[in-house]
């Protein structure tokens, strides 16, 4: 959730982001490194969707919670000049990538 502060009538300024899963808040002026890694999910569901018909769905997730959600399914894509490498991340040791997938 994006938290704003109204200033001088009609201007609002973003002051913090709160993760919708863990509810931890990050202040824009102090936690810029965490703020830039937030993921904002926004979409409108379709007909017959599990989210409801034509519902607007929103979610703001910190990088730590997103990692917990997707760690068993994610891949990384590393691009070097002339070379693209796709790697599956091991869920047991997230900082140690598995063998490259070709």
Mind listing the pLDDT tens digit for each residue in 87-102?
A: 666 655 545 444 444 4
| Same domain flag for 32 and 81 | no
Q: Which residue has the tokens 């140690």?
A: 96
- Beta carbons of 41 and 57 less than 8 angstroms apart: yes
Number of domains the chain is built from: 2
- Do 79 and 101 lie in a common domain? yes
Of the chain, the end-to-end C-alpha distance in Å amounts to 38
Rounded to two decimals, what is the model's pTM? 0.65
CA angle 78, 72, 61 (to 5 degrees): 80
Is a pLDDT exceeding 80 seen at residue 73? yes
Please tell me whether residues 26 and 40 are part of one structural domain. Answer: yes
Across the chain, mean pLDDT equals 81
Lookup result for tokens 């569901």: 45
For the chain, what percent of residues have pLDDT higher than 90? 46
pLDDT at 14: 74
89 lies in which domain range? 71-102
**Same-domain pairing of 78 and 40:** no
Average pLDDT over residues 19-29: 93
Residue 67 has pLDDT above 70, yes or no: yes
């Amino acid at each position: 959730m994006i938290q704003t502060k109204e200033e001088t009538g009609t201007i609002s300024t973003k002051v913090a982001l709160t993760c919708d899963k863990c509810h931890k808040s990050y202040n824009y002026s102090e936690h810029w490194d965490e703020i830039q890694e937030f993921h904002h999910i926004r979409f409108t569901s379709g007909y017959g969707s599990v989210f409801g018909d034509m519902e607007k769905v929103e979610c703001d997730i910190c990088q730590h919670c997103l990692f917990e959600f997707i760690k068993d399914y994610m891949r990384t894509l590393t691009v070097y000049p002339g070379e693209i490498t796709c790697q599956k991340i091991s869920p047991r040791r997230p900082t140690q990538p598995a063998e490259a997938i070709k």
